[in-house]
Amino acid sequence: MAPSAVLYEQHNDYEDCFGDPDVTGKYGTDIQEGKCTWLSARVLQEATPSQRKIMEEHFGKPNEESVGAVKMLYKELKIPESLEIYEAQSYAKICEDISHIPNESLQNVLHILANTLYSR
């Protein structure tokens, strides 16, 4: 998948979980629905056995206690911070790729799009 698509999906997953519905216009349900997201995949990569057990017990359950437990696990594993780092790295890679395009006008347009995506 292209870095720009990954960057969009990561940010979308984060907003679904931690975003303010008044700002994003959506009420996230990824945890309740047990959707495979960038955040949930990171938990499976980084969790200890006891943390994985918490994820297995609560992920995909529609009650507030389970949603809270998963969000706490995300925070405990510093998933939001990892996302910020990964987003910055992805953005840098996108900008580097854009700089190799020979058409300067196209570079300018793509930089505007990348900046819009990264700063949303």
pLDDT in tens, 16-56: 888 888 887 778 899 999 999 999 999 999 999 999 999 99
Q: Is the pLDDT of residue 61 over 90?
A: yes
Of 80, 92, 116, the C-alpha closest to 3 is 92
Residues whose CB falls within 8 Å of the CB of residue 113, separated by 6 or more in sequence, listed in order? none
Of 1, 32, 3, 2, the C-alpha closest to 91 is 3
Q: What is the pLDDT of residue 2?
A: 59
Per the rule left: phi > 0, alpha: psi between -120 and 50, beta: everything else, 37 is beta
Phi, psi of 113 (to 5 degrees): -65, -45
Distance CA 82, CA 39 (A): 9
Q: Note whether 9 and 42 are within 8 A (CB).
A: no
Residue 117, token pair as written in the block? 């995506």
Q: What is the reported pTM? A: 0.77
